[in-house]
Amino acid sequence: QSVLTQPPSVSAAPGQKVTISCSGSSSNIGNNYVSWYQQLPGTAPKLLIYDNNKRPSGIPDRFSGSKSGTSATLGITGLQTGDEADYYCGTWDSSLSAGSYVFGTGTKVTVL
């Protein structure tokens, strides 16, 4: 069971905006940086956001990330049918001595 909680699903019409929350604690999101991954159907995950809000080269600015306290949020504006995918947050969790990387529970985005 993941220590990072995401809503199972979100949906919106093309062109609209969706936000995906990722809730954690002081041992993970509260004191470490968050990354986000997009997994299109049948493919490997791809990095969307790192360091809470930075986009790798090639990721459109329709995708944005933010963090506040022990929660993080991924925003997608101008929703497109190609954005239908599973999205995961991730961060380091320092609750155990050596630490551990943890992923969120995942959120399925549906374009209506």
Partner 1 sequence: QLQLQESGPGLVKPSETLSLTCTVSGGSISSSSYYWGWIRQPPGKGLEWIGSIYYSGSTYYNPSLKSRVTISVDTSKNQFSLKLSSVTAADTAVYYCARHVRYCSGGSCLYARDWFDPWGQGTLVTVSS
Binding site for partner 1 (CB under 8 A): 2, 31-33, 35, 37, 43-47, 50-51, 56, 88, 90-92, 94, 96, 98-106
Nearer residue to partner 1 within complex by CB, 81 or 97 = 97
Q: C-alpha 62: how far from its chain's center? A: 14
| Separation of alpha carbons 96 and 65, rounded Å | 27
* Cβ atoms 65, 72 nearer than 8 A: yes
Nearer residue to partner 1 within complex by CB, 107 or 111 = 107
- Report in angstroms how near the CB of residue 14 gets to partner 1 at its nearest: 26
Nearer residue to partner 1 within complex by CB, 18 or 55 = 55
| Separation of alpha carbons 83 and 50, rounded Å | 18
